[in-house]
Chain A
């Protein structure tokens, strides 16, 4: 009998508990789902520009008759004041879990982004895999971009980066990556830059950060050398010319080996990179002789080497900070020494030896004359 009473008691309790429900339950339609955040700092005021999905409107764009996306702006003398105003302006609680990208304006980047990054660390609903970018464009112009296929500007920015990354053309930096770097001292990092060019949001380069503050910008045209260090499968087109023909190559990095050495207080890196260069097409179709092949290979090696060396030179001399990730290779071998040294100082004095190997291969329809003539 006692057993039966016990059971009914637990049953009553169970049902009661389930009926109480969950304090945190919330309807997706009763949240302001953010897809893009732009953080600005102008005239001593922090501003947020956020793009919100109108769930009830079915995510359709305006011209399709739906509610589409709306833009909210809030500002204040500090980040919490700006957020406070944002909360007072939004009809439902702001939900950051669906954010696709966070963009810092150039002014904000100059001011420093560390506080905001640490803020993201604490916000439980922010995904730490959100991509980070900078932009010299005014926020309103950026956020009112007409996307080609995507539903929102936030989605469009994330997808542009994602596609470029898959093609081996750019490095994508997430909140998590930056959190890792700012936990260390004396290491810099890059954020992709997006600007409105001819009314289109375009990837235009990389912003260099030191102590989480912007110290310069590298244009997109100079990104090849950087990509060889930071991308997982970089691939670029190269063009070489001789007096009567042009050759277009698809250059893919197949091997990278960075070996750190530390002797008599001097850091040396030995970099070994191998590339496969597929000859895609020529201006005029001809047969390529062995000698020509050798010449082309030398020329490509030189071009790639120049890209790599100029990327290193930029980092060591122009910006004097390690955003190419050399510290990881050094730390993996000389942990104790790394902890004791001022990495930035040592890195700028490091000797870096680069060895590039470029192997040419014929693509479809390209005739390599393998026989000696």
Chain B
């Protein structure tokens, strides 16, 4: 059987796909929306999205060896199943195109000032496309290593930031006067928790068992805690008030921190960029792999390479053509408003039908 991953690989696939891009702007959107209570918003979000991810994982567990396309055929018929897969395919292609665009813009403003965006985008897609051509099983294996490196580096950097900042800047941790803000800020963090829909193309095997659901929930909660560490330490270094003045807040925060004892590695942003580009590459690889996998479900006769090339070309053209403002609007609309359809609505519909039809 192909396309299988172990539970541990599943954990890293979800964590890395989620954190890849959204961390850059997360501190800004939280500083503006929920302020010093950002950690509460993040906990609520990680639990809610944990439940949605668990539903998708549970469906995978119920229908072992089948992906979303196959089990939705059983549940809602072939036509509707193809429609669902279409939605996922369009969604992932748009995400790939515009995440790549946004990442290239960040790289242009903060790292490679003169390198044109079309080039950075092309470079990213070709590399992740090549990795994705090896199939999700191999991608899972790479991510197991990359995941450890990325998470280890990120945690080290943010612990260093914690000691450079001052805890008093992020107090009070809870302010009863701002209770409602903690909830109204939720739409701002949706983008940060999307990405677990990659489960739709990963068939679970007997070896994954029921534990897979636990690993998926664990990954979502881990991401929540990871975000709290990132956001709070950024607030400590930048201050909540000044965080609002930056677009790429995390990079701005990195630029504030220096550890004199590290001699030639005094500036942390070098390590950060390394880890972040690793993470971006991993995210794009998983998303490309997912989109190509979905396309194959719709057109089974197409060869894998052609699937990939179609996805990469479409995603590249989509991402490179619009103006900066239009591109960021499309990304916001897709993630904020439409993102909940593949992440929440479709899995819930399928779950309810599965229960009504007495599967499991």
Assembly CA distance A104 to B36 (angstroms):
34
The yes or no answer to B141 lying at the interface (CB within 8 A) is: no
Partner of A183, one of B113, B114, B178, B242: B242
Q: Given contacts A22-B112, A184-B241, is CB(A129)–CB(B257) below 8 Å?
A: yes
Contact residues of A: prevailing secondary structure: helix
Check B238–A17 contact: CB distance below 8 A: no
Check A23–B172 contact: CB distance below 8 A: no
Check A127–B239 contact: CB distance below 8 A: no
Check B172–A24 contact: CB distance below 8 A: no
Q: What are the interface flags for A8-27 relative to B under an 8 Å C-beta threshold, 1 for contact and 0 otherwise?
A: 00100110010010111000
Check A180–B257 contact: CB distance below 8 A: no
Closest chain A CB from B232 CB (angstroms):
14
Contact residues of B: prevailing secondary structure: helix
Partner of A10, one of B122, B126, B238, B303: B126
The yes or no answer to A88 lying at the interface (CB within 8 A) is: no
Partner of B109, one of A10, A124, A328, A336: A124
Check A176–B112 contact: CB distance below 8 A: no
Closest to A13 in B: B126
The yes or no answer to A95 lying at the interface (CB within 8 A) is: no
Q: Which residues of chain B are near A333, meaning CB under 8 Å? A: 171-172
**Which A residues, 300 to 334, have Cβ-Cβ distances below 8 Å to chain B?**
328-329, 331-333
Partner of A24, one of B114, B122, B126: B114
Closest chain B CB from A20 CB (angstroms):
8
Q: Given contacts A176-B237, A333-B172, is CB(A17)–CB(B109) below 8 Å?
A: no
Q: Given contacts A127-B255, A128-B255, is CB(A332)–CB(B242) below 8 Å?
A: no
Closest chain B CB from A272 CB (angstroms):
16
Assembly CA distance A3 to B122 (angstroms):
21
Number of interface residues of B (CB under 8 A): 37
Assembly CA distance A121 to B253 (angstroms):
12
Q: Which residues of chain A are near B180, meaning CB under 8 Å? A: none
Q: Which residues of chain A are near B245, meaning CB under 8 Å? A: 121, 179, 183
Check A328–B168 contact: CB distance below 8 A: yes
The yes or no answer to A335 lying at the interface (CB within 8 A) is: yes
The yes or no answer to B70 lying at the interface (CB within 8 A) is: no
Check B172–A22 contact: CB distance below 8 A: no
Check A10–B115 contact: CB distance below 8 A: no
Check A179–B123 contact: CB distance below 8 A: no
Check A183–B241 contact: CB distance below 8 A: yes
Q: Which residues of chain A are near B237, meaning CB under 8 Å? A: 176
The yes or no answer to B8 lying at the interface (CB within 8 A) is: no
Chain A interface residue number, banded: 20 to 34
Check B305–A2 contact: CB distance below 8 A: yes
Check A336–B239 contact: CB distance below 8 A: no
Q: Given contacts A17-B123, A121-B245, A328-B168, is CB(A335)–CB(B36) below 8 Å?
A: yes
Closest chain A CB from B236 CB (angstroms):
10
Q: Which residues of chain B are near A174, meaning CB under 8 Å? A: 256
The yes or no answer to B116 lying at the interface (CB within 8 A) is: yes
Q: Which residues of chain A are near B119, meaning CB under 8 Å? A: 20, 23
Check B113–A124 contact: CB distance below 8 A: yes
Closest chain B CB from A166 CB (angstroms):
10
Q: Which residues of chain A are near B166, meaning CB under 8 Å? A: 328
Partner of A23, one of B36, B115, B258: B115
The yes or no answer to B175 lying at the interface (CB within 8 A) is: yes
Q: Given contacts A23-B119, A124-B110, is CB(A129)–CB(B175) below 8 Å?
A: no
The yes or no answer to B267 lying at the interface (CB within 8 A) is: yes
Q: Which residues of chain B are near A328, meaning CB under 8 Å? A: 166, 168-169
Check A3–B256 contact: CB distance below 8 A: no
Assembly CA distance A295 to B237 (angstroms):
44
Closest chain A CB from B120 CB (angstroms):
10
Closest to B240 in A: A183
Closest chain A CB from B12 CB (angstroms):
25
Closest chain A CB from B74 CB (angstroms):
33
Assembly CA distance A164 to B301 (angstroms):
73
Check A17–B242 contact: CB distance below 8 A: no
Q: Given contacts A10-B130, A23-B119, A129-B257, is CB(A180)–CB(B112) below 8 Å?
A: no
Besides the known contacts A17-B123, A17-B126, 19 further A-B residue pairs in the complex with CB atoms under 8 A apart: A2-B305, A10-B126, A20-B119, A22-B112, A22-B115, A23-B112, A24-B115, A124-B109, A124-B113, A128-B252, A128-B255, A129-B255, A176-B237, A176-B238, A183-B241, A183-B245, A328-B169, A329-B168, A333-B171
| 21 A-B residue pairings within 8 Å (CB atoms) | A2-B305, A13-B126, A17-B122, A20-B119, A23-B116, A23-B119, A124-B109, A124-B113, A129-B255, A176-B238, A179-B242, A180-B242, A183-B239, A183-B245, A184-B241, A328-B166, A332-B168, A333-B172, A335-B36, A335-B175, A336-B178
Interface pairs A-B: 7 shortest CB-CB: A332-B171, A183-B242, A180-B239, A23-B115, A183-B241, A23-B114, A176-B256
Residues of A within 8 A of B (CB): 2-3, 6, 10, 13-14, 17, 20, 22-24, 121, 124, 127-129, 174, 176, 179-180, 183-184, 328-329, 331-333, 335-336
